[in-house]
Amino acid sequence: MKKKIALLLVMSMVFMLCACGGGAQNAEQSGQENAEGTWQPDGPVTMIVSYKAGNGTDLTARILAQYAEKYIGQTIVIENVDGGSGSIGWSKLAEAEADGMTIGFINLPNFNSSIVKGLGTYTTDDFTAICNHVTETSIVVVRADDDRFQTIEDLVAYGQANDGKLIASTNGAQASNHIGAQAFANSAGFTYIDLPQGNTADELLSLRGGESDFCVVKVADISGMQSEVRVLASFSEERLAEYPDVPTLGELGYYDQWLGSSRCIAAPAGVSDEVVAFYENAFKQAMEDPEYLEAAAEFATDYKDAAATAQLMADQQAFTEGLSDGFWYE
């Protein structure tokens, strides 16, 4: 009887040791490097969006995240860090651990303007580009119930006759939509009062609430509110497919360059090439996914790889730094 008990104890100990050994092997394989030796996240991935929930960037980020999770293999947690015209969120992204577990959206040229204005302590060197997600063309909009402005010519005529009286809500001082409003007004020969809101969601809320007369936003920003705003003109070289009856500013003799913004995905500087390659491939697959493309039909998805996105960031930095003092007025 004692021998049987002893044998059972030995067998139990062997079983426990085998189980522990198997667990240790699984633990090694479930780290940040898989069995093939390529990097992958080992837990939820934080994606910083530097604007409030409901903003255009937030909406596009959440749709992308929903479909990217199956290619990343982990949950993507959107963290909205609003304030400072985006600079607070970008500061947090720059200061995050370069371990691949935190990525975020960078909005061009808002991001570049924040550097020019010194809103944060970061520079472009504090980030590593992963890919571009969306490229959006800017448009001029007014309230749908504002009978004064049926066309862009109506807005220009009013602005010229009442110089300095029109109010334009913007997404922040010298941010992308402020750049657009300024470029439009400069080319049309009138001045206006800038009403900076800090983000596009509040900019549009200000317009719809009657605090401003017009504003410049991007096409995706008015998704779901087309009945509340009237699109008067676009900053595109050709008329937009979504608005074939809306003229470009250039065809009417006003600002004749493309203007808009890009929403890029980046990581803190110092992440490994393996991390960049992993996300670059995962987001490319997500942006080519038919279900994603159907869900994001209203967005101008524009995938660019890491190298092209890094160049885009550099080009936009040069653009914003090149805006002369004469471009702006107080």
Cα 288 → chain centroid: 18
Q: How many CB atoms lie within 10 A of CB 294?
A: 9
**169-183 pLDDT, tens digit each:** 999 888 899 999 999
Buried b / exposed e over 237-257, threshold 16 CB at 10 Å, is eeebeebeebbbbbebebbee
Per-residue pLDDT at 36: 61
**47-84 pLDDT, tens digit each:** 999 999 988 899 999 999 999 999 999 999 999 999 88
Choose between 242 and 102: higher pLDDT.
102
Per-residue pLDDT at 1: 39
Mean pLDDT of 266-288: 97
Q: Which two tokens stand for residue 218?
A: 């991007």
Task: Give CATH 3.40.190.150 domain extents, the chain.
Answer: 45-135+261-324
Task: Give CATH 3.40.190.10 domain extents, the chain.
Answer: 137-259
**pLDDT(223) > 70:** yes
**99-139 pLDDT, tens digit each:** 999 999 999 999 999 999 899 899 999 999 999 999 999 99
Average confidence score pLDDT of the chain: 88
In angstroms, the Cα distances linking 46 to 104, 108, 124, 160, 267 are 8, 21, 20, 48, 11
Q: How many CB atoms lie within 10 A of CB 225?
A: 12
Cα 35 → chain centroid: 33
**15-49 pLDDT, tens digit each:** 333 333 433 333 332 336 665 668 999 999 999 99
CATH number of 45-135+261-324: 3.40.190.150
Distance CA 148, CA 320 (A): 33
CATH number of 137-259: 3.40.190.10
